[in-house]
C-alpha cells in the first residue's frame, strides 16, 4: 500500500514536512501518528463502516482520514464538498449493498452522460502503479513541493498525493484557486523544486489575471501538470513563453483508466491534443472504431454494482474509452475529442474543442463553448457561446473572421452569443451536458 511509504518516511525523515495547509504544518512523524490514531478509531467501528464516505474538506483532516481508512482495511469514498445529505445517504446505501472486490482502496464517483453517478472501484495496486507512473514520468523527488488547489475528491488532484508519499515530498494544500494571492504566496522563495496541477480553465484564468506573477516564478517552478480537458494552443504558447525552463506536462488520465501518458509541450512542440507516450505501467492502442484503449495495473476494477456496464468498457484486459484519437509516428497519443461531443455538420464531423481552441486565440475572449444548433436559415450548424475579458468588447463579425483564419470553413460557427460566463463543472471541464439538456 502507498501508506507503507508514509510510515517508512516517518522513520527515516521524521521531521520532514509532509503537509502544509494554511498555517498548519505536519511532519512525516506527525502525519503517520495521526493516521495510526484515526485508523485505530475506524477499526473499532467494525464491519458496519467497511466503507468510509469522506466529503472533501480540502484540509489535512481529509488526508489523514483518507489514508487511515486504507490502513484500517476500509474502502474510502471521497466525495465533493457540500454534498446534500439525501445524496450522501443514497450513496452510502449503494456502497453497502454492492459487493467490493478484495483490496479495493477507493470508490470514486463520476457523473456519466446520463447524469447517473457511477462508482469507479480502484485497487491498492492501481494507486501504487499511478504513483510510480507519475514519479518516474514527471520527476517527483523528496525535494518536490507540490501545490494542490483542486478538489481532492477528484483523481486530478488526489493522485498527486501518491507520488509525494512514494518519494517523501511535501504537499501544500489550498482550498481552491479562487484566492489567487494564496496560490502565489504558496510558492515561497526558499523552495526551488515546486510544482502544481492546474486544469486548463485555471491556467487560462492565471494567464489573464496573473501572467506577470506567474512569470516571476520561472526559476522556482520545476513543472506544471495539466489535464482533465483540452488546453488551447494559444495558452500553451503563452505558458511556454512565461516559463521557458519549466517542464509543462499535458497528461492523459481518467478515473477509470488511472494515469496513462504524458507530454512535455515545453520541449519544443506545443502540440494541441498531444498527450505523449504511455508511462511505465500503461499501454495504449486505438481501436478499429478510433477509440483510445488502455491497459495495465492502473485500470479500475470495475463499476460498483454494475457488471453489465463494466463488461461494456472492459475487454480482455483493455478498457475502451469514449475518447477518439490516433497514435502518431513517434508513438504519442493525439486526442481528437470525445465520441459524444462530436458535432455532425453537413456531413462533416467537427470536434468542438478545435473550434474552441481557435476562438480562444482571439485576444479579447475569456472563455467559450461550441455547441450544436438547429437554425431555420442554416440547418444543423455550430453555435459559439463566449464571454469576454473585463473591459473588452468583441465584434461577432471579427470573431468569426478570426476563427475562419484558423480552421476549415465548415468549422466556423454560424451563431455567436455573448454570455456573462461559460458554465464549467467543479473540476474545470466545460459543462456541455447542462447546455445540451436545455
Tens digits of residue pLDDT in 33-83: 999 999 999 988 765 678 999 999 999 999 999 999 999 999 999 998 888
Q: What is the pLDDT of residue 155?
A: 92
CA-based angle 246:134:230, to the nearest 5?
Answer: 65
Helix 124-138 to helix 2-12 angle, to the nearest 10 degrees?
Answer: 60
Nearest CA to 298 out of 161, 99, 131 is that of: 131
* Cβ 234 vs Cβ 357: under 8 Å: yes
Nearest CA to 433 out of 110, 100, 32, 17 is that of: 110
* pLDDT grade for 114, boundaries at 50, 70 and 90: very low
pTM greater than the 0.75 cutoff = yes
* Cβ 368 vs Cβ 386: under 8 Å: yes
Residue 92 has pLDDT above 50, yes or no: yes
DSSP for residue 120: E
Chain mean pLDDT for the chain: 91
CA-based angle 153:23:9, to the nearest 5?
Answer: 65
DSSP for residue 229: S
Please state, in angstroms and rounded to a whole number, the distance separating the CA atoms of residues 297 and 306: 20
Mean pLDDT of 230-253: 92
Query: From its phi and psi, is residue 125 left (phi > 0), alpha (psi between -120 and 50) or beta?
Result: alpha
Nearest CA to 68 out of 106, 35, 46 is that of: 35
Give 187-201 pLDDT, tens digit per residue: 876 777 899 999 888
Please state, in angstroms and rounded to a whole number, the distance separating the CA atoms of residues 156 and 172: 15
Q: What is the pLDDT of residue 82?
A: 82
**What cell numbers appear for 393 in the block?**
468588447
Helix 28-43 to helix 60-71 angle, to the nearest 10 degrees?
Answer: 60
Place of cell 474538506: 57
Give 119-128 pLDDT, tens digit per residue: 999 999 999 9
**Counting every residue, how long is the chain?**
438
Nearest CA to 228 out of 353, 317, 67 is that of: 353
Q: What is the pLDDT of residue 2?
A: 94
Q: Please state, in angstroms and as integers, the Cα–Cα distance from residue 97 to each residue in 48, 304, 362, following that order.
A: 12, 10, 51
* pLDDT grade for 176, boundaries at 50, 70 and 90: confident
Amino acid at each position: 500500500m502507498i501508506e507503507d511509504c508514509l510510515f517508512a518516511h516517518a522513520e527515516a525523515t521524521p521531521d520532514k514536512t509532509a503537509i502544509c495547509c494554511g498555517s498548519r504544518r505536519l511532519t512525516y512523524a506527525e502525519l503517520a501518528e495521526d493516521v495510526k490514531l484515526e485508523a485505530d478509531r475506524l477499526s473499532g467501528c467494525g464491519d458496519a463502516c467497511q466503507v468510509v464516505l469522506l466529503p472533501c474538506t480540502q484540509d489535512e483532516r481529509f488526508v489523514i482520514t483518507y489514508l487511515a481508512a486504507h490502513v484500517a482495511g476500509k474502502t474510502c469514498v471521497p466525495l465533493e464538498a457540500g454534498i446534500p445529505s439525501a445524496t450522501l445517504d443514497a450513496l452510502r446505501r449503494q456502497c453497502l449493498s454492492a459487493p467490493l472486490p478484495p483490496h479495493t482502496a477507493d470508490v470514486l464517483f463520476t457523473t456519466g452522460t446520463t447524469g447517473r453517478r457511477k462508482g469507479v472501484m480502484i485497487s491498492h495496486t492501481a494507486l501504487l502503479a499511478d504513483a510510480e507512473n507519475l514519479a518516474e514520468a514527471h520527476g517527483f523527488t523528496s525535494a518536490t513541493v507540490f501545490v494542490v488547489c483542486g478538489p481532492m475528491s477528484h483523481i486530478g488532484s488526489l493522485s498527486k498525493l501518491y507520488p509525494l508519499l512514494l518519494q517523501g515530498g511535501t504537499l501544500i494544500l489550498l482550498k481552491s484557486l479562487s484566492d489567487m494571492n494564496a496560490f502565489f504566496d504558496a510558492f515561497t522563495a526558499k523552495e526551488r523544486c515546486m510544482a502544481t496541477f492546474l486544469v486548463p480553465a485555471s491556467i487560462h484564468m492565471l494567464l489573464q489575471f496573473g501572467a506577470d506573477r506567474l512569470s516571476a516564478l520561472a526559476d522556482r517552478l520545476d513543472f506544471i501538470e495539466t489535464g482533465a480537458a483540452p488546453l488551447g494552443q494559444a495558452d500553451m504558447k503563452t505558458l511556454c513563453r512565461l516559463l521557458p525552463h519549466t517542464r509543462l506536462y499535458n497528461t492523459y488520465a481518467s478515473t477509470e483508466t488511472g494515469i496513462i501518458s504524458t507530454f512535455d509541450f515545453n520541449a519544443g512542440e506545443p502540440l494541441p491534443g498531444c498527450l505523449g507516450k504511455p508511462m511505465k505501467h500503461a499501454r495504449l492502442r486505438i481501436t478499429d472504431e478510433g477509440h483510445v484503449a488502455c491497459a495495465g495495473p492502473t485500470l479500475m476494477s470495475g463499476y460498483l454494482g454494475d457488471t453489465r456496464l463494466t463488461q461494456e468498457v472492459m475487454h480482455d484486459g483493455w478498457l475502451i474509452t469514449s475518447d477518439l484519437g490516433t497514435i502518431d509516428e513517434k508513438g504519442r497519443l493525439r486526442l481528437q475529442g470525445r465520441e459524444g461531443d462530436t458535432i455532425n455538420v453537413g456531413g462533416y464531423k467537427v470536434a468542438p474543442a478545435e473550434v474552441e481552441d481557435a476562438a480562444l486565440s482571439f485576444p479579447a475572449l475569456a472563455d467559450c463553448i461550441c455547441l450544436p444548433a438547429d437554425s431555420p436559415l442554416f440547418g444543423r450548424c455550430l453555435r459559439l457561446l463566449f464571454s469576454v475579458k473585463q473591459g473588452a468588447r468583441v465584434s461577432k463579425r471579427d470573431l468569426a473572421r478570426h476563427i475562419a483564419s484558423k480552421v476549415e470553413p465548415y468549422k466556423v460557427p454560424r451563431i455567436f452569443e455573448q454570455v456573462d460566463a461559460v458554465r464549467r463543472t467543479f473540476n474545470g471541464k466545460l459543462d456541455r451536458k447542462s447546455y445540451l439538456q436545455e
